[in-house]
């Protein structure tokens, strides 16, 4: 999510800079102080999380910093309120909002500096179930697709995100480790052999059935995995999340998608203007980055094993070499090389250890040894 946020903020800042008619900003853009609002008011079971941050330097993607100690309130058009609790990461959370599907809701924000922001009232949108998440194999890649429909023909606009997890195996099993100047048996060789790695989507995936007679999304393309990459070298899982959108929210995300995918350099013409349903109370000309939606989400998880996509030739440049006993002090102390097995001379004497580099032996360099609960 952090990578997606940085890409999003960067592209939208450039849009703001490019759209001088709507947002006249000074020529010096290094001190832009824009509020970024990310998240959705969850009307279904589970927590709601809104992330607030500010961005200052459009040329530095690391300049997005959390907006701390703000007052964040969800307000209904029937005057109900729910207060979100902030943390040190700029995340404001409510464990369960219990929103009324017949009401509209908005977000009210008051920063520690006294600035106030408010979003438009938005209706609650339930998300229809995902019919299927599937994939198709070509010579070059695996393409993931989603199929869904709303039997009541009410949703029409959709957005998807995904969380992906894959299993990692080291190239070698290490039965030994180097401790305090000597090589000793490793208690659990598989503790650094089996790992898992996770990532989240950074691209924007949208779909619409607005021009169709029925609210059906069929085989909508999601992400791709190039053939022969590590993700499906053992086993892979993807959890797809489906969000309903209003027409206005869909327009906002379309602009985001267009800008993040087609953006050239800082000096290229900007393709679209910024839209938002969040406004500064005190300064109507101050742009705010984000769009508040209200609704539930649905999700579906699938798994793929390597055997389902064979041939899948993934390999890493890993060498195995013999380290003589009189040389281990040059290789093992830094853990750049890790002992694997004992190596004996033709005469039957222990003469050294087979070894390989840490990145080829210790999977924790690339992932975590903790198996996910859903695995």
Residues 6+ apart with CB under 8 A from 347: none
CB contact at 8 A, 343 and 175: no
Per-residue confidence at 268, pLDDT binned at 50, 70, 90?
A: very low
Check whether the bond before 311 is cis (ω within 30° of 0): yes
Does residue 180 surpass a pLDDT of 80?
Answer: yes
Phi/psi at 110 (5° precision): -130, 120
Q: Of the given ranges (14-28, 60-74, 101-115, 190-204), which has the lowest mean pLDDT?
A: 14-28
Q: What is the DSSP letter of 125?
A: B
Supply the pTM of this predicted model: 0.85
Torsion on CA atoms 40, 41, 43, 48, rounded to nearest 10: 90
pLDDT (0 to 100) of residue 256: 86
Q: Which of 21-30, 36-45, 127-136, 191-200 has the lowest mean pLDDT?
A: 21-30
Distance, in Å, from the CA atom of 170 to the CA atom of 168, rounded to the nearest integer, reads 7
| Residue 171 backbone phi and psi in degrees, to 5 | -80, -20
Structure tokens at 9: 């903020």
Looking at residue 24, what is its pLDDT? Answer: 40
Quick one: the chain helix, strand, coil %, rounded to 5?
15, 40, 40
72-103 pLDDT, tens per residue?
999 999 999 999 999 999 999 999 999 999 99
User: pLDDT per residue over 147-168, tens digit each?
Assistant: 999 999 999 999 999 999 999 9
Largest CA distance in the chain: 88
Beta-bridge mates of residue 356: 338
pLDDT at 275: 80
């Amino acid at each position: 999510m952090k990578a997606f946020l940085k890409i999003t903020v960067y592209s939208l800042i450039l849009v703001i800079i490019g759209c001088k008619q709507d947002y006249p900003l000074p020529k010096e853009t290094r001190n832009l102080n824009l509020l970024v609002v990310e998240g959705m008011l969850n009307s279904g079971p589970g927590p709601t999380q809104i992330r607030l941050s500010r961005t200052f330097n459009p040329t530095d993607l690391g300049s997005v910093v959390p907006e701390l100690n703000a007052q964040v309130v969800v307000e209904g058009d029937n005057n109900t309120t729910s207060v979100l609790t902030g943390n040190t990461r700029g995340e404001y959370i409510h464990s369960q909002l219990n929103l009324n599907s017949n009401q509209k809701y908005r977000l009210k924000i008051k920063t520690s500096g006294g600035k106030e922001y408010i979003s438009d009232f938005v209706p609650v949108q339930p998300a229809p179930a995902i019919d299927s998440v599937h994939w198709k194999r070509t010579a070059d890649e695996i393409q993931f697709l989603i199929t869904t429909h709303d039997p009541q023909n009410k949703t029409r606009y959709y957005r998807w995100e995904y969380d992906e997890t894959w299993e990692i195996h080291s190239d070698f099993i290490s039965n030994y480790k180097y401790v305090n100047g000597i090589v000793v048996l490793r208690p659990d060789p598989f503790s650094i052999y089996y790992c898992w790695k996770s990532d989240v989507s950074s691209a924007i995936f949208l779909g619409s059935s607005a021009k169709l007679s029925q609210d059906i999304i069929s085989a909508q393309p999601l992400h791709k995995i190039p053939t022969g990459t590590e993700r499906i070298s053992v086993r892979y899982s993807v959890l797809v999340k489906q969000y309903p959108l209003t027409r206005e929210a869909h327009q906002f995300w379309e602009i985001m998608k267009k800008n993040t995918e087609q953006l050239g350099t800082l000096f290229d013409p900007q393709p679209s203007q910024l839209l938002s349903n969040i406004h500064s109370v005190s300064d109507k000309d101050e742009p705010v980055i984000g769009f508040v939606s209200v609704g539930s989400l649905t999700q579906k998880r699938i798994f793929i094993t390597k055997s389902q996509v064979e041939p899948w030739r993934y390999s890493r440049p890993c060498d195995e070499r013999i380290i003589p006993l009189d040389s281990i002090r040059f290789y093992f102390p830094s853990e750049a090389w890790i002992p694997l097995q004992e190596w004996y001379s033709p005469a039957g004497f222990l003469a050294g250890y087979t070894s390989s580099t840490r990145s080829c032996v210790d999977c924790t360099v690339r992932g975590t040894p903790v198996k996910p609960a859903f695995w």
